[in-house]
Amino acid sequence: MSRSAWLLKTNNPLENNNESDHSAILIAKKQISEICKTLCLDTQKYEARKSVEQISSYIASSEMNRILYSEISHYLFALDSEQRGVCITNTNRLLEYVFNSNNEFTDECKKAVTKICDHCNLAATQADCIVTILKQGIEETKSAFTEEIKNTQKDYITILGIFSSVILAFIGGVTFSTSVFENVHKASPYRIVFISALLGFTVVNAIRMLLKFLLTINSKESNKSKSNVPVIFINSFFVVVLVVTATLWLHSKYDILSFFLP
């Protein structure tokens, strides 16, 4: 580095002021941190006199001409609720000590103590409120997430149950149809129709009961006035087929219709 450049750097008043301001800020932060640390001591070990000495030293030596409230908030927010409670207890003792008529302090010292204690109470209240809000938010989120998982599980059960019902109906129908076609020449038409109708009636109502059970365990209500209409028609059809088939079989065997027909 050339001599002129070195002179330019060292003789720059703006840069020197920035370095001085930065150093003053660091010193002020350290002093405020020490004050907060003293205020957070155990109540049995706490001495208000020591806090007053620290605050008076800060007023006399600090170049900031103000209290760094952000440093107080930063320190208290890092504590747990029990430690903040200890701090509030000590600040109340500090206020009583400073404003006691037996202790004479300058107005500037009383003002600084009041501001620091007031901000400690404010920061502690804000921290407790934030913790409470966070806990409530976590609980609500956890509850909503748990409920969502339960609903998802119920949906999975419903889908699996419906799929099983469809498979049951399809496989049962195919199996029965295959058996009927293989043995159609061995049984009478009445027996085949009667057994087919009876099996169809059983399968339809079994699937209906299974779906109703799935709706029940998933706490869902179906529109009974509309959902029962197709089942009623199907059951009515099977019942008619069963009655007609039985009647025709009895007629072919015992000629019972001759008693009713002229």
3-state SS track over the chain: CCHHHHHHHHCCHHHHHHHHHHHHHHHHHHHHHHHHHHHCCCCCCCCHHHHHHHHHHHHHHCCCCCCCHHHHHHHHHCCCHHHHHHHHHHHHHHHHHHCCCCCCCCHHHHHHHHHHHHHHHHHHHHHHHHHHHHHHHHHHHHHHHHHHHHHHHHHHHHHHHHHHHHHHHHHHHHHHHHHHHHCCCCCCHHHHHHHHHHHHHHHHHHHHHHHHHHHHHCCCCCCHHHHHHHHHHHHHHHHHHHHHHHHHHHHHHHCHHHHCCC
- Asked whether residue 2 carries a pLDDT value surpassing 50, the answer given is no
Higher local confidence (pLDDT), 262 or 160: 160
pLDDT of residue 76: 86
**132 vs 188: which has the higher pLDDT:** 132
Average of per-residue pLDDT values in the chain: 76
Model-wide pTM > 0.85: no
Give the residue with greater pLDDT, 229 vs 127.
127
